[in-house]
Amino acid sequence: MELQEAISQRRSVKIFKRDMTIDEDALYDAIKKAADAPNHGHREPWRVIHVAKDRLGNMSKQLTQIAFHDKPKKQEDHYQVVTNLGGMLVLILKEDPHQLEGLEDHLAFGAYVQNLMLLLHEAGIGTCWKTPPYIFDKEVQALFNIQENERLLGFLYLTDLEDKMNYRPRHTENIIEKF
């Protein structure tokens, strides 16, 4: 697949209607190849946790018990959605404590995730990066064993590619200015 095609065709898949599985080898290959992302000082400030298909239900129950405590409907909705996925990646930033390096690490992390989403798209795996408010919940962070120098930067839902992608063209008319 051409790079340009992958960039323009990749879209966040938000409909998880089909129960599906994904090829674990293809997934792990993309996770490793995405690490060619630029990162200052070669700190490689990323790691992921793979929640495989057979662990999604268990994870959902533990997560929503914390995030949606006393909200059984939300717990059930989350369970229904995520157990239809082919898996999930927990996205974790290893953040340098210094201001500049920390900023660089955040920026490099975005490059890493874009690489990953493009590589997965090429492998026929659809993705959606999810950043629900509960990523800031200390108990949720503990569930995924997030360390002091780390930040939970969301979840990458893994699914199939929708038949028809919702293509929203970007507004590129005014993004270039001459100095």
Ligand X SMILES: Cc1cc2nc3c(=O)[nH]c(=O)nc-3n(C[C@H](O)[C@H](O)[C@H](O)COP(=O)(O)O)c2cc1C
Binding site for ligand X (CB under 6 A): 11-12, 14, 128-132, 154
What gap in Å lies between CA 16 and CA 155, rounded to an integer?
Answer: 15
Nearer to ligand X, 31 or 113 (CB): 113
Dist. CA 6–CA 131, nearest whole Å? 23
Q: Which of 126, 136, 46, 127 is nearest to 92 (CA)?
A: 46
Query: Is the CB of residue 156 less than 8 Å from the CB of residue 89?
Result: yes
CB of 135 to ligand X, least distance (A): 9
Nearest-approach distance from CB 8 to ligand X, in angstroms: 9
For ligand X, give the closer residue by CB, 86 or 154. 154
* Shortest Å distance, C-beta 54 to ligand X: 24
Q: Which is nearer to ligand X, 14 or 24 (CB)?
A: 14
Taking the complex as a whole, the smallest distance from the CB of residue 178 to ligand X amounts, in Å, to: 28
Sheet holding 87-94, edge to edge: 46-52, 87-94, 150-159, 126-130
Smallest separation (angstroms) from ligand X to the CB of 61? 21
Q: How many CB atoms lie within 10 A of CB 128?
A: 18
Of the candidates 105, 139, 112, the residue with the CA atom closest to the CA atom of residue 30: 112
Residue 72 vs 132, nearer CB to ligand X: 132
21 vs 166, which CB is nearer to ligand X?
A: 166
